[in-house]
Structure 1
Amino acid sequence: MPDAGAATRVLLDSAYLLHRRDYRETSLLLELFTLQHGRIGLIAKGARRGKAGLAPILQPFRPLLASWAGRGELATLTHAEAGGADIRLRHTALFCGFYLNELLVRLLPLHDPHPELVEVYRTALAGLAAGRDLEAVLRRFELALLECLGYGLQLTADAQTGDAIQPDRLYIYRIDTGPIIADSDDPVALHGATLLALRDGRFDTPELRTESKRLMRHVLAHYLEGRPLKSRELFRNST
């Protein structure tokens, strides 16, 4: 966390805009995901003023180079420019991009740098833009985000016995410990093959995809403390 009394000045850090909202008459409040400083909050003074304002540059999914200065939690954006080619997301991919951004806003602590996660995010956006398997892109990002936060899933061994996960066995995933063998009629059980597929980043069959999605929703809901995601609601309302 930054020292509330210390002045901060950062020049041209690589960044992505996660969220923005209007502030007063001409300014914006921003949340950026930056390479060297993690998730940060900034005020962009006068960004909405006239054609020369920064608002057209400050768009989601666009690589940026950002500079800021100030004291305490909320510094002031002093400069922003394009940091690479625009990433254009359309239709379902656009909602998936909003979902990635909301996960970062909700789960990533402020001022906690994760350069490797920035690269994972960049790769995920490229996959969404290219129209690759969207479900697979989301699952890989979710797993990487949890790993960076120290909440990585245990996907290789039974949490009670230490035995290797068996593809044909049914398991329940306990967030505090990991997978344990489930009763055959347990409605939330999933196959060991799904745990191993998540470990390997494979989503070859409809069953693997369905069970992987169900597991990740369960785990993420725990860390989101049960609060719903607005991006999911936005997607449901658009269909």
Structure 2
Amino acid sequence: MSRQSTAKIRVDGQPMFVLSSSPWRESSLALEVFSRDYGRLSLIARSARKRQSDLRGVLMPFVPLQAAWFGQNEHYTLHTAQWLGGWAQPTGQALMSAWYVNELLLKLTAREDAMPHLYQGLCEVMQALSFNQQTAQALRQFEWCLLQSLGVAPDLRQDEHEQALDAHSQYWMRPENAPFKIGSDARINHMRDAVVVTGATLLALQGQTPWSDVAHKEALRLNRSLIQFRLPQGLHSRDVLQQLQQWKQDLNLHL
């Protein structure tokens, strides 16, 4: 859908997730949503906070919805929304991870940029967080899916010397650069601000090898460095999680 389009549109039966909501005027909600075929959108849910509204209690984050809206020029009004079902909202630390996923989408995606593959990745990570199943792997795969969808993930088809990746080798990884195999050039013994990962981790991110404990840890460092490069101001959800973890550590020291 073109951002310059001035024609009025009506969309029906569109799968979406609510990323954030805030009060708007007396009884409405301003929503940021991520939809399958239209990407991230801003919607106004009129009268959604009224007790008798059909939308009251439906517009929850982290669960799949099906919605209809109408409008033009990025000004859209939500018409209907209903749960698609399938899972409940995540809880505990998984809930913080879900907020983190939503914050990534809010800060890194552009409005009305359709990315169906990324929407599928969003479904998969939210489902994993809801059922608390392989959450670390799901988060790393979603981060990589997001970076690929934005066109900013390193090209892992080959290394800097146009060689296929070797699962048993180590690589320096930097934003906007292909993997550099450590030891492939005797003139270079260090790369500033590079993250060291094994080829097996890079292959796991592409779904070519199984995940391991080492791959989880290395993918976390790699994805974090690539995301921080795009978001130097940081992420609020990550700061809150770190504060909670520090609070728990401090509490345990006093028990």
Task: Name the CA shift for 1:91/1:25 in 2 (closer, same or farther; >3 Å).
Answer: same
Q: Distance in 2 between matches of 1:124 and 1:148?
A: 15
Gaps of 5+ in 1: none
AA paired with 2:111?
L
SS at match of 1:70: strand
Q: Counterparts of 1:1-239 in structure 2 under 5 Å?
A: 1-3=2-4, 5-52=6-53, 54-159=55-160, 161-182=161-182, 183=189, 188-200=195-207, 202-205=210-213, 207-224=214-231, 226-239=232-245
Q: Distance in 2 between matches of 1:208 and 1:86?
A: 28
SS at match of 1:189: strand
Conservation of the 8 A alpha-carbon contact between 2:63 and 2:126: no
SS at match of 1:79: strand
Q: CA deviation at 1:25?
A: 2.2
Tell me the percent identity. 31
Conservation of the 8 A alpha-carbon contact between 1:155 and 1:198: no
Q: Distance in 2 between matches of 1:3 and 1:156?
A: 35
Q: Distance in 2 between matches of 1:185 and 1:75?
A: 48
Deviation by residue 1:51-85 (Cα, 9 ceiling, x = unmatched): 43524110002221211112211211122122233
Q: Distance in 2 between matches of 1:141 and 1:59?
A: 21
AA paired with 1:171?
Y
Conservation of the 8 A alpha-carbon contact between 1:156 and 1:199: no
Q: CA deviation at 1:227?
A: 2.0
Q: CA deviation at 1:213?
A: 0.5
Q: Distance in 1 between matches of 2:229 and 2:156?
A: 18
Q: CA deviation at 1:156?
A: 4.2
Which residue number corresponds to residue 185 of structure 2? none
Gaps of 5+ in 2: 183-188, 246-255
TM value normalised by structure 1: 0.88
SS at match of 2:243: helix
Q: How many residues align?
A: 236
Task: Name the CA shift for 1:69/1:185 in 2 (closer, same or farther; >3 Å).
Answer: closer
Aligned CA RMSD, in angstroms, stands at: 2.2
TM value normalised by structure 2: 0.83
Q: Distance in 2 between matches of 1:193 and 1:53?
A: 50
Q: CA deviation at 1:86?
A: 4.1
Q: Distance in 1 between matches of 2:191 and 2:8?
A: 59
Q: CA deviation at 1:217?
A: 0.5
Task: Name the CA shift for 1:194/1:85 in 2 (closer, same or farther; >3 Å).
Answer: closer
Task: Name the CA shift for 1:238/1:54 in 2 (closer, same or farther; >3 Å).
Answer: farther
Deviation by residue 1:183-225 (Cα, 9 ceiling, x = unmatched): 37977423333223323363312x322211100001111222x
Q: Distance in 1 between matches of 2:191 and 2:34?
A: 43
Q: Distance in 2 between matches of 1:71 and 1:184?
A: 53
